[in-house]
């Protein structure tokens, strides 16, 4: 542990004090005075005024002082850590000016808080300097030595050569738990704050880094003109040359890319998912080549061609083949061009808006007359290798790996500073973290860092005061995907707490099923549920017509935005082995398939009806789905089900449930035994049943409950009639008659719907058509004016939903 | 103390820094005028404008003449650019060299002139 000292009489401090806080202005004053007096004096001297030498002398002296101030006094960098233990040498000038060894904690904090570095850190990490100062007791002593040792430790850890206000702020927070509480309240840690110090360091580095020389005025004089390429391509090198943004120092894969271009094949294929950084890599290469690096490639320019742009700009008289040949020919003649084919699969005839130019590209690659960089996804690379061996063998493959969390966070944070620009908006570190987390969860077709950058860019449309905050990012995701990721509002919390009541407005009984599903939603919205699995997964077992599907539908209607947020799969359609591929069909193959639908609506209820009828191999897919919250399509892309409620229904054992309920048993009494029977019977494997959060048994509805169901159905009829301002009311006698006629213990409420349809809706329809009902009428139906029941209606099951007679052994 | 600080800086790091600045200025000019590139490609055709030689003697002679013109244009353009760059560097060297030589006397120049004006 170092013993730091402070020499208040040191030369450096004297220099710092001499300029004080108005130093820069003083330097400018001396400069202007010198520049003004010397010419005036010279003119007067020429005019014969000998005393003007005084003016020239004063001007010259001002110039000398200004030179000293601007180049020395106003630039007194701190000494490197480890070179001394004297704080008068180690502290940045501004801090050294106000520093005294007897400062209290609050006084030092206030000194620190006045620096621009602290302003940067405080705004982005939720540290309010005033609140922090208030949290430190007025005369709380400061262990100066401990503070500077902690700062030195942090500097060593973060590979920082000198003490900066940001590092001192981190050290200060590390020492005071009261300040850490502020961080915790902002959902941050001291490690995040240290990352902030690096963020600021990178910003300073970018600001101070000088633009490299890009070859000067005669760089391209020995290369040919490229009018066609300028018309059809995007010159990345020119963008780099005239961009105000600074290139990152090094990008992974850059050396390999340059080596590939310099190799015998001379052409490279970049393989990686969208967002992985293929364009960024090309831009970084453009920067290097312009700066004259990489020998034979020095001062080459990278021009990106896009198939759709070429197609869109093709003149009627010129074929696309001619244009592409012309482009390659021009590049070869110019001698300083690297052509980049973005989304290169479009040039091989794969994908929307594609043209097959592989026959043109092959000779170009074979002749090695042009340096080419092609960018494709791994899937397209596999396809190219399978279909065009000749071409793939002429390309040097370079597989790009996805950026890790820390790299992505840093790139996103740096990108945020560019996006902020002159807008005055400030991006918080929590926003950066949230962009990483949520983009990973919802942007499933892209890779890091691209997806995090994309989400952060979207978040700039949702400013939170002067900030781009965690909330901005959440709102961007919510508006794009319809999911709920923000903390629940008071109204939503209330809705969640009373979810059962709202569902029961549409559903009769099945209290246990309703409560387990509602509880799962509450857990998910409160952030208690495991985020790596679906919000909830339930197996609903019971006879037909007792509300299994209706519960899923009610849930979609009451909590998710509408019934359309329910994705329903009838598993009886998936009974063959080829159906496995059908269920795993990727977006391009079947837009109405399960996975594309879930990608489109990640926040939804997914209902697998009659799951026992599916092929066992499909049931095996449920193991991954329920365990990891994702399914991988046939092209290897994962689709997340982590924001879905998974409901599987089955009629298996329905007869047993009915018999036991009729025998007077309660569901709770035989639930476990029933599940064991299901396993023993071989209908479901134990590993599948174990993966559901809950297995819920639905009991058959009795006649009283069916009466309530009838009322709900009549209410539904009234909602339909609402535009015509006609309503219908059933007398108790009519309701009782409908229940009596429609009651079938095997089919539950299902015959009731047909009964209401045939006897109530048909009656109303007749009355409307005969002119017996007009706007404002309330039609009261009693037993006498209901349409008589069809003879076989109540007992005829619908063809698509037969009563299940499977019974566990 | 400040006088000591001034003398220390002016006759030490300040002098070196001024020399460094002159060197940097010369390097910038060297690069801005693409001197290395111009020297390496002094006789290259202008913007690669060349004619491929044809089969007949006439066509070959014509191509040779065209290409010679292209090289001549390139040479003239490059030569003048080189000369302009080198001239600018020469000016910097003269002015910078003078400042470097007079550097130790500059702090005394002001007071000397003031005294001279009074006398």
Q: Which residues 6+ apart lie within 8 Å of A637 measured at CB? A: A444, A445, A586
Inter-chain contact B74–A222, Cβ cutoff 8 Å?
A: yes
Percentage of chain A lying above the pLDDT 70 cut:
94
Q: Which residues of A touch B (CB under 8 A)?
A: 11, 14-15, 18, 50-64, 67-68, 71-72, 213, 215-225, 299, 333-335
| Higher local confidence (pLDDT), A524 or A89 | A89
> Is the per-residue pLDDT at A706 higher than 50?
yes
Other Cβ atoms less than 10 A from the Cβ of A184: the count is 13
Chain B residues closer than 8 Å to A18 by CB: 2
CA distance A359 to chain B (A): 27
Q: At what angle do helices A116-124 and A165-175 cross, to 10 degrees?
A: 50
The CA dihedral of A41, A42, A48, A51, to the nearest 10 degrees, is 30
pLDDT exceeds cutoff 50 at A793? no
A789 pLDDT band, cuts 50/70/90, is low
Tell whether the model's pLDDT for residue A9 goes beyond 90. yes
Residues of A in contact with B45 (CB under 8 A): 222
Task: Quick: pLDDT tens for A587-617.
Answer: 666 667 899 888 888 888 999 999 999 998 8
At residue A247, the pLDDT reads 60
Q: Closest Cα partner for A252 from A403, A149, A107?
A: A403
Name the residue with tokens 């000292």. A5
Sequence-distant (6+) residues with CB within 8 A of A688 are: A619, A622, A623, A626
Contacts B28 to A, Cβ<8 Å: 213
- Whole-number average pLDDT of chain A: 87
pLDDT above 80 (res A251): no
* Set of chain A residues whose Cβ sits within 8 Å of the Cβ of B112: 57
- The pLDDT of A171-195, averaged and rounded, is 93
Q: Do A57 and B112 touch (CB under 8 A)?
A: yes
pLDDT at A372: 95
Tens of pLDDT, residue by residue over A529-558, are 888 889 889 999 988 888 888 899 888 888
Q: Is the CB of A217 less than 8 angstroms away from the CB of B112?
A: no
What long-range pairs does A147-152 form, CB within 8 A, spacing at least 24?
Answer: A147/A108, A147/A171, A147/A172, A147/A175, A148/A2, A148/A4, A148/A87, A148/A90, A149/A1, A149/A2, A149/A4, A150/A174, A150/A175, A152/A2, A152/A81
Residue of A nearest to B114 (CA): A54
Residue A193 near residue A125 (C-beta atoms within 8 A): yes
* DSSP string for A316-377: TTS-HHHHHHHHHHHHHHHSSEEEEETTGGGGBT-STT--B-HHHHHHHHHHT-SEEEEEE-
Contact list in B for residue A299 (CB cut-off 8 A) is 37
Task: Give the distance, in angstroms, between the CA of residue A394 and the centroid of all CA atoms in the same chain.
Answer: 37
Question: Nearest-CA distance from A232 to chain B in Å?
Answer: 21
Cβ of B114 and A14 within 8 Å? no
Cα–Cα distance for residue pair A162/A90, rounded to 1 Å: 7
| pLDDT tens digits, one per residue of A498-521 | 889 888 888 888 888 898 888 888
The CA angle A604-A537-A584, to the nearest 5 degrees, is 65
User: What distance in Å separates the CA atoms of residue A339 and residue A303, rounded to the nearest whole number?
Assistant: 5
Token look-up 């005019």 returns A47
Dist. CA A513–CA A551, nearest whole Å: 8
The larger pLDDT score, comparing residue A807 to residue A771, is at: A771
> Contact A55/B78, CB-based, under 8 Å?
no
The tokens describing A473, both together, are: 């990012």
Does residue A653 come out as left (phi exceeding 0), alpha (psi in the -120 to 50 range) or beta? left
Contact call for A11 and B4, based on CB within 8 A: yes
Show Cβ contacts of residue A304 under 8 Å, excluding neighbours closer than 6 positions: A233, A234, A235, A236, A279, A282, A339, A340, A341, A342
Q: What is the bridge-based pairing of β-strands A778-781 and A727-730?
A: parallel
* ipTM given for this complex: 0.91
- Residue in the block written with tokens 């026959």: A359
Residue A737: pLDDT band (50, 70, 90) is confident
Asked if B33 lies within 8 A of A54 by C-beta distance, the reply is: no
| A7-11, A682-686, A781-785, B60-64: least confident range | A781-785
Residue pLDDT, tens place only, A352-399: 566 778 888 888 899 998 999 999 999 889 988 998 898 899 999 999
> Per-residue pLDDT for A803 more than 50?
no
Interchain pair B111, A54: CB under 8 A: no
Residues A45 and A591: their CA atoms lie apart, in Å, by 88
What pTM value is reported for the model? 0.83
Confidence at A24, pLDDT banded by 50, 70, 90: confident
The two three-digit tokens of residue A449, written as one number:
């860092």
SS3 A588: coil
Q: Write down the pLDDT at residue B104.
A: 96
CA-based nearest residue in chain A for residue B78: A218
Does the distance separating the beta carbons of B47 and A54 come in below 8 Å?
no
Which residue of chain A has the CA closest to B104? A64
Which residue from A780, A792, A711 is spatially nearest to A751, judged by alpha carbons? A792
Query: Cα Rg for chain B, rounded, in angstroms?
Result: 26
Residue of higher predicted confidence among A790 and A55: A55
Chain centroid offset of residue A500 CA: 32
What chain B residue is nearest to A17 in terms of C-alpha separation?
Answer: B2
Q: Which residue of B has its CA nearest to A18?
A: B2
Q: Which helix (H) or strand (E) holds A233?
A: strand A233-235
Q: Which pLDDT score is estimated for A798?
A: 41
* Residue A676, SS3 per DSSP: helix
Unique residue bearing structure tokens 């940001």: A166
DSSP for residue A683: S
Model pLDDT for residues A774-787, shown as the tens digit of each residue: 888 888 888 777 76
Torsion of CA A343, A348, A351, A354, to 10 degrees: 90
The domain segmentation of chain B, as residue ranges, is 2-118
Cα gap A765→A760, rounded to integer Å: 9
Q: Is B2 in Cβ contact with A14 (below 8 Å)? A: yes
Which residues in chain A are contacts of B99 at CB distance < 8 A?
Answer: none
- Paired residues of A398 in beta bridges: A270
Please name the residue of chain B whose CA is at the shortest distance from the CA of residue A69: B6
B37 closest CB neighbour out of A52, A219, A334: A219
Smallest CA–CA distance from A218 into chain B, residue: B34
Strand A396-399, strand A267-271: pairing: parallel
Chain B residues at the A interface, defined by Cβ less than 8 Å, are: 1-2, 4-6, 9-10, 13-14, 17, 28, 31-35, 37-38, 41, 44-49, 74, 77-78, 81, 106-107, 109-118
Which residue out of A18, A222, A329 would a mutagenesis test of the B interface target, given it has the greatest number of B Cβ atoms within 10 Å?
Answer: A222
Residue that is written with structure tokens 């009627």 in the block: A316
A617-629: pLDDT as tens digits: 888 889 989 988 9
Whether A316 has a pLDDT exceeding 70, the answer reads: no
Pick from A344, A331, A342: which is nearest to A371 by CA?
A331
- For chain A, the maximum distance between any two Cα atoms, rounded to a whole number of angstroms, is 131
Digit-by-digit pLDDT tens for chain B (119 residues) are: 789 999 999 999 999 999 999 999 999 999 999 999 999 999 999 999 998 887 888 989 999 999 999 999 999 999 999 999 999 999 999 999 999 999 999 999 999 999 999 98
Q: What is the pLDDT of residue A250?
A: 54
The pLDDT score that the predictor gives to residue A37 is 95
Tell me the two tokens of residue B46: 């202008």
**Cα separation of A19 and A33, whole Å?**
17
| pLDDT band for position A808 (cuts 50, 70, 90) | very low
Contacts of A345 (CB under 8 A, 6+ apart): A351, A354, A376, A377, A380, A383, A384
To the nearest whole Å, the CA of A216 is away from the closest chain B CA by 4
Q: What percent of chain A is predicted at pLDDT more than 90?
A: 47
Residues in chain B: 119
Contact A57 B44 (CB under 8 A): no
Q: Provide the pLDDT for residue A662.
A: 82
Give how far B58 is from chain A: nearest CA, Å. 24
Pick the more confident residue, A21 or A111: A111
Q: How confident is the model at residue A327 (pLDDT cuts 50, 70, 90)?
A: very high
Residues of A in contact with B77 (CB under 8 A): 221
Pairwise CB contact (< 8 Å): A58 & B114:
yes
Report the C-alpha gap between A675 and A683 in whole angstroms. 11
Nearest-CB residue to B31 (from A51, A61, A216): A216
| Nearest CB to A60; choose among B33, B49, B110 | B110
Q: What is the pLDDT of residue A295?
A: 87
Q: Is the pLDDT of residue A797 over 50?
A: no
- Among A137-141, A337-341, A412-416, A460-464, whose mean pLDDT is lowest? A137-141
Percent of chain B with pLDDT over 70: 100
Is B9's CB within 8 Å of A72's CB? yes
Asked if A60 lies within 8 A of B106 by C-beta distance, the reply is yes
Short-list A536, A545, A563, A538, CA closest to A509: A545
Looking from the CA of A92 toward its CB, the CA atoms found within 13 Å total 17
Contacts of A331 in chain B (CB under 8 A): none
> Looking at residue B92, what is its pLDDT?
97
Provide the pLDDT for residue B84: 97
Q: What is the radius of gyration, based on Cα positions, of chain A?
A: 37
Task: Measure B22 CA to nearest chain A CA, in Å.
Answer: 15
Residue A351 confidence (pLDDT) above 70:
no
Task: Determine the residue of chain A that is closest to B34 in CA distance.
Answer: A216
pLDDT of residue A791: 53
| A218·B81 Cβ contact <8 A | yes
Which of B4, B78, B111 is nearest residue A57 as measured by Cβ atoms? B111
């Amino acid at each position: 542990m170092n013993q730091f000292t402070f020499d208040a009489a040191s030369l450096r401090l004297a220099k710092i004090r001499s300029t004080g806080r108005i130093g820069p202005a003083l330097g400018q004053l001396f400069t202007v005075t010198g520049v003004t007096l010397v010419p005036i004096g010279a003119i007067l001297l020429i005019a014969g005024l000998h005393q003007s030498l005084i003016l020239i002398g004063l001007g010259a002296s001002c110039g000398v002082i200004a030179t000293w101030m601007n180049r020395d006094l106003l630039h007194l960098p701190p000494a490197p850590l480890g070179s001394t233990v004297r704080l008068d040498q180690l502290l940045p000038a501004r801090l050294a000016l106000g520093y005294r060894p007897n400062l209290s904690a609050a006084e030092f904090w206030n000194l620190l808080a006045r620096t621009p570095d602290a302003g940067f850190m405080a705004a982005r990490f939720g540290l309010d300097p005033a609140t922090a100062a208030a949290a430190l007791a007025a005369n709380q002593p400061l262990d100066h030595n401990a503070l500077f040792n902690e700062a030195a430790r942090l500097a060593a850890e973060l590979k920082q050569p000198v003490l900066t206000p940001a590092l001192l702020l981190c050290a200060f927070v590390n020492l005071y738990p009261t300040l850490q509480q502020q961080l915790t309240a902002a959902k941050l840690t001291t490690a995040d704050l240290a990352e902030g110090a690096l963020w600021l360091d990178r910003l300073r580095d970018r600001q101070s880094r000088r633009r490299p020389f890009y070859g000067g005025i005669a760089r391209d004089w020995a290369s040919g003109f490229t009018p066609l390429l300028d018309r059809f391509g995007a010159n990345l090198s020119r963008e780099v040359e005239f961009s105000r943004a600074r290139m990152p120092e090094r990008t992974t894969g850059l050396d390999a890319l340059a080596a590939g271009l310099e190799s015998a094949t001379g052409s490279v294929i970049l393989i990686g998912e969208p967002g992985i950084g293929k364009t960024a890599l090309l831009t970084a290469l453009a920067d290097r080549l312009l700066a004259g690096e990489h020998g034979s490639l020095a001062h080459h320019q990278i021009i990106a061609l896009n198939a759709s742009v070429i197609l869109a700009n093709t003149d009627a008289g010129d074929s696309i083949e001619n244009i592409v040949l012309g482009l390659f020919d021009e590049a070869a003649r110019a001698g300083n061009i690297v052509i980049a084919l973005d989304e290169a699969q479009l040039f091989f005839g794969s994908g929307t808006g594609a043209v097959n130019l592989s026959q043109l590209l092959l000779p170009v690659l074979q002749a090695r007359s042009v340096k080419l960089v092609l960018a494709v996804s791994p899937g397209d690379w596999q396809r190219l290798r399978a279909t065009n061996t000749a071409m793939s063998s002429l390309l040097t493959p370079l597989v790009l790996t996805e950026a890790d969390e820390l790299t992505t966070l840093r790139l996103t944070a740096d990108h945020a500073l560019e996006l902020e620009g002159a807008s005055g908006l400030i991006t918080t570190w929590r926003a950066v973290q949230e962009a990483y987390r949520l983009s990973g969860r919802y942007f499933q077709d892209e890779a890091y860092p691209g997806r995090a950058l994309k989400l952060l860019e979207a978040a700039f449309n949702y400013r939170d005061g002067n900030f781009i905050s965690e909330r901005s990012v959440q709102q961007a995701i919510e508006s794009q995907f319809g999911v709920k990721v923000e903390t629940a509002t008071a109204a939503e919390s209330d809705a969640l707490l009373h979810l059962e009541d709202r569902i029961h407005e549409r559903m009769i009984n099945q209290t246990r099923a309703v409560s387990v599903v509602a509880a799962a939603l509450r857990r998910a919205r409160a952030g208690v549920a495991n985020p790596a699995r679906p919000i909830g997964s339930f197996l609903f077992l019971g006879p037909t017509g007792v509300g299994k599907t209706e519960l899923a539908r009610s849930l979609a209607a009451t909590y998710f935005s509408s019934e359309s947020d329910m994705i329903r799969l009838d598993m009886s359609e998936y009974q063959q082995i080829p159906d496995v591929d059908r269920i795993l069909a990727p977006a391009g193959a079947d837009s109405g398939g399960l996975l594309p639908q879930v990608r489109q609506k990640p926040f939804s209820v997914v209902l697998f009806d009659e799951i026992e009828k599916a092929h066992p191999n499909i049931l095996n897919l449920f193991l991954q789905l329920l365990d990891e919250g994702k399914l991988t399509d046939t092209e290897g892309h994962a689709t997340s089900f982590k924001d879905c409620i998974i409901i599987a229904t089955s009629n298996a054992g329905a007869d047993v449930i009915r018999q036991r309920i009729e025998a007077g048993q309660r569901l709770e009494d035989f639930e476990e035994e029933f599940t064991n029977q299901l396993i023993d019977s071989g209908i479901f494997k134990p590993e599948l049943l174990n993966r559901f959060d809950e297995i819920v048994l639905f009991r058959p509805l009795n006649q009283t409950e069916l009466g309530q169901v009838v009322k709900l159905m009549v209410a539904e009829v009234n909602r339909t009639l609402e535009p015509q301002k006609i309503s219908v009311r059933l007398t108790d006698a009519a309701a009782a008659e409908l229940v009596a006629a429609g009651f079938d213990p095997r089919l539950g409420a299902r015959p009731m719907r047909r009964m209401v349809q045939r006897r109530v809706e048909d009656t109303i329809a007749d009355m409307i058509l005969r002119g017996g009902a007009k706007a404002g009428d309330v039609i009261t139906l009693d037993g006498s004016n209901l349409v008589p029941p069809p003879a076989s209606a109540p007992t005829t099951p619908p063809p698509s939903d037969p009563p299940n007679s499977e019974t566990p052994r | 103390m400040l006088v000591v600080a001034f003398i220390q800086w002016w006759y030490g790091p300040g002098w070196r820094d001024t020399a460094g600045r002159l060197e940097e200025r010369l390097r910038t000019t060297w690069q801005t005028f693409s001197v290395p590139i111009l020297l390496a490609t002094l006789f290259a055709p202008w913007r690669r404008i060349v004619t491929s030689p044809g089969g007949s003697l006439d066509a070959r002679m014509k191509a040779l003449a065209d290409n010679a013109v292209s090289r001549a244009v390139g040479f003239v353009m490059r030569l003048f650019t080189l000369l302009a760059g080198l001239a600018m560097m020469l000016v910097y060297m003269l002015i910078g060299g003078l400042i470097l030589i007079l550097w130790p006397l500059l702090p005394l120049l002001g007071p000397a002139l003031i005294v001279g004006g009074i006398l």
